[in-house]
Amino acid sequence: MPTPPDPAVLYSDVAACGSLATALRAEAEGCLGAVPVTSSDSAPLLHAAVASTLPHREPLQISAWSHERRWAIWGAEPFQSMLLIDGRTDDLAEVARAARAWHDGAALNDIRRAAPFVHLTGRFEVPDLDPARLTESEWQSMHQEARELEYVWHETYQALIEAAYAEPALRALYPFTSHRALRFSTTTRPRLTVVGPCLAANSDGTYGVGRGIVDQDLDLFTTAHEAVALAVRQLPLGLGPVALGE
C-alpha cells in the first residue's frame, strides 16, 4: 500500500490555517459564526468536530482523507450511536454549510438541502427514545440500505427486507444485520437481546434460515416469503413490545 502524502502538502491551505477547524471557519465566510468547532489534538489538519444545539445529536465528525483531497462527515444520535447522516465531498465550504445546519438543529432533510452532498441514512430522530419509533427508524434505514446496495444480489437482499417487514410479527421486532444475515431483537441498541432465527439472502438467489450467524441449517428456499414464514414459526411465543436496550 503506497505511503499517504504528507497532510501539510495535500491540505496546504488547511496547514496554512493551522487546523481543520480554523480552515473551516475561513472557508465558510462567516457561515459558522460563533459555532464551536474543535480540532483533534493528535491530527489537527485531518479531524474536526462541530457540536449541535440539540441534545439528541452527537457532534458532527469531519475527517480528511489521507490519500486524496476529500472530506467525509458523519453525524449520529447519542443513545445508540447510529448514523443519521454521512457524506463525502471535495468542497470544504459545503462541509461548513452542513456543519452549521447540524449545529443549528435543522431537520435532516434541510441539512441535505443546505449541502447536497449529505447522505441521509434513512433513520429519523427519536428524541424521546420511544422503542417502537427507534425500531421503525431502523427498519426504514434497512429499506434504504437495501435499495442502495451495489453488489450483485442486492435485489435478493431487498426482497428479504421487504418480506420481513411485511410480516407483523417480525416488523414488531428490532432488526439488525450480522455477517450479512438479518436478525431480530426484543430490545434496541446498545444492548440487543437476540430472538428467533437468522435470515440470509444468498448470491445464488436463494434464502436461508438458520439458528446461527453463518448456518442455514433450518431450511433453504427460493422465495423470501417462504423463508420469512419459517422464521415467524420459529419465534418464541409471548413476545412483548420492544424495550430500550439499556
CA dihedral (209, 138, 98, 103) in degrees, to 10, reads -140
**Element (DSSP H or E) covering residue 175:** strand 174-178
Q: Report whether 108 contacts 137 (CB < 8 A).
A: no
Looking at residue 27, its pLDDT comes to 84
What number is the average pLDDT over the span 198-209?
Answer: 92
| DSSP category for residue 218 | S
Q: Quote the CA–CA distance of 211 and 218 in Å, as a whole number.
A: 7
Q: ω into residue 190 within 30 of 0, thus cis?
A: yes
Angle at 149 between CA 101 and CA 223, to 5 degrees: 135
Q: How many CB atoms lie within 10 A of CB 27?
A: 19
User: Residue 191: is its pLDDT beyond 90?
Assistant: yes
Q: Is 119 left (phi over 0), alpha (psi -120 to 50) or beta?
A: beta
Angle in degrees, CA 151, 117, 8, rounded to 5: 100
Would you tell me how many other CB atoms lie within 10 Å of the CB of residue 200? Answer: 25
Q: Judge whether residue 1 has pLDDT over 70.
A: no
pLDDT tens-digit map of 90-136:
999 999 999 999 999 999 999 999 999 999 999 999 999 999 999 99
